[in-house]
Amino acid sequence: MMELTLKRESSRIIAGLIVSFGLFAILPLFIGEGYVSLVNEMLILALAACALNLMLGFTGMVSFGPAGLYAVGAYTTALILIYTKIPFGIALIAGPVMAGLVSIVVGWFCVRLTQVYFALLTLAFSQIIHTIIFQWYGFTRGDDGIVEIPVPAFFHSITNYYYFSLVVVTICLCLLWRIVNSPFGKTLQAIRENPHRTEFVGIHVRRYRLSVFVLSGFFLGMAGSLYCGFNKNVFPNYADMMKSTEMLVVCLLGGIHTFLGPVVGSVVYMVLDKVITLYTEYWPLVLGLVIVGLVIFLSGGIVGFISEKIAVARQRDTG
């Protein structure tokens, strides 16, 4: 019975993914280039948030420093493209691979700790990455950032790059979906619910935590690389605390205990960002008020709230 509902849910999600992929694919026919670029940015943010949510929502590891790994991805791609003649495709893959390697080192330290201490240690590491990027003028060009990164001529068109990132993001989301619903993913959720019991069952909790840290780092790096190709410039502030909190807010806005929550979160976040900045320069103030409202009144996030309402309605129908 349980398996049946799971299968039904899973096929529904896959159908949803296909439909939304189709919708996103025909989107550029109806909207201007400015908006296409906006949607592109949103897709990349959604990928970063989903990668973070693998730790945050599915394993219960609150990381304050996802932006560090995101920046590793972005800078790896950028540095390869400006210093070498290696083709774009390989440079793009090198980003997440490098981020994954860095997360092995960072994660090895971080997963020894839990809760607040884990969060603070991830913050410390991302600040160190920020410092390295910021200070290493000879290599990373410091706070000037790396500008005018050479990308293939095909990607000078915003629409072309949009289709490219749509494909990449969809593939990554499918992979993440596979991970979450694999036995490995279920173990992660068991760790989230009760690490002690999971340990007693014979699961090496720390090793699982490290694996998920690296996986999440890989996809964060992917988002970073993708953004590097999109923006064609990278700056040290990709690694700063504001960027990390942006990702966290996106996850929480959409709801962290659902797979697609962060995607919805990124849509809402981008729309809020663009609409509010039209009217006022005090966007942080409004965002802050929105978050306060969200926390006090709707702590399960938007998707959590809606699915709760649906569940209640359905119960009323059957009962």
Partner 1 sequence: MSFQGFIIQLLSGLSVGMVIFLIAVGLSIIFGTLGVLNLSHGSLYMLGAYLCFWLSSTLSQFSGSFWWALFLAPVAVALFGGLMEVLLLRRIYEMEHLVQFLLTFALILIIGDLCKLGWGVDYHMVETPWPLNGPFILGQFIFPRYNIFLILSGPAIFVGLWSLIRYTRLGRVIRAVTYSREMASALGVNVPMVYTGVFMLGCGLAGLGGALVAPMSAVMPGMDMVVLVDCFIIVVIGGLGSLTGAFLGSIIFGLVHAFGILVAPRLAIAFGFILMIVVLIIRPWGLMGKPE
**Cβ atoms 208, 32 nearer than 8 A:** no
Nearer to partner 1, 220 or 249 (CB): 249
Question: What is d(CA 175, CA 182) in angstroms, rounded to the nearest whole number?
Answer: 10
Q: What angle do CA 273, 276, 279 make, to 5 degrees?
A: 145
282 in contact with partner 1 (CB under 8 A): yes
Give the nearest distance from C-beta 272 to partner 1 in angstroms.
Answer: 13
Among 285, 310, 311, 312, binds partner 1 (CB under 8 A): 285
**Cβ atoms 50, 263 nearer than 8 A:** yes
CA distances from residue 184 to 55, 57, 187, 290 in whole angstroms, order as listed: 13, 15, 5, 35
Nearer to partner 1, 127 or 198 (CB): 127
Stretch that binds partner 1, among 15-23, 162-170, 242-250, 264-272 (CB under 8 A): 242-250
Q: Which of residues 60-79 bind partner 1 (CB under 8 A)?
A: 62
123 in contact with partner 1 (CB under 8 A): yes
128 in contact with partner 1 (CB under 8 A): yes
Helices (H), 84-157: 88-110, 115-135, 137-140
Nearer to partner 1, 17 or 286 (CB): 286
| CB neighbours of residue 258 within 10 Å | 19
Copy the structure tokens of residue 89.
């495709």
139 in contact with partner 1 (CB under 8 A): no
Among 7, 8, 12, 112, binds partner 1 (CB under 8 A): 112
Q: Which of residues 17-56 bind partner 1 (CB under 8 A)?
A: 56
128-151 burial string, b = 16+ CB within 10 Å, else e?
ebbebbbeeeeebbeeebbeebeb
269 in contact with partner 1 (CB under 8 A): no
Stretch that binds partner 1, among 23-31, 74-82, 123-131, 147-155 (CB under 8 A): 123-131
Give the nearest distance from C-beta 27 to partner 1 in angstroms.
Answer: 31
Question: What is d(CA 127, CA 9) in angstroms, rounded to the nearest whole number?
Answer: 40
Stretch that binds partner 1, among 81-89, 174-182, 218-226, 279-287 (CB under 8 A): 279-287
Question: What is d(CA 256, CA 304) in angstroms, rounded to the nearest whole number?
Answer: 8
Residues near partner 1, by CB under 8 A: 56, 62, 109, 112-113, 115-117, 119-121, 123-125, 127-128, 131-132, 134-135, 241, 245, 248-249, 252, 256, 282, 284-285, 287-292, 294-296, 299
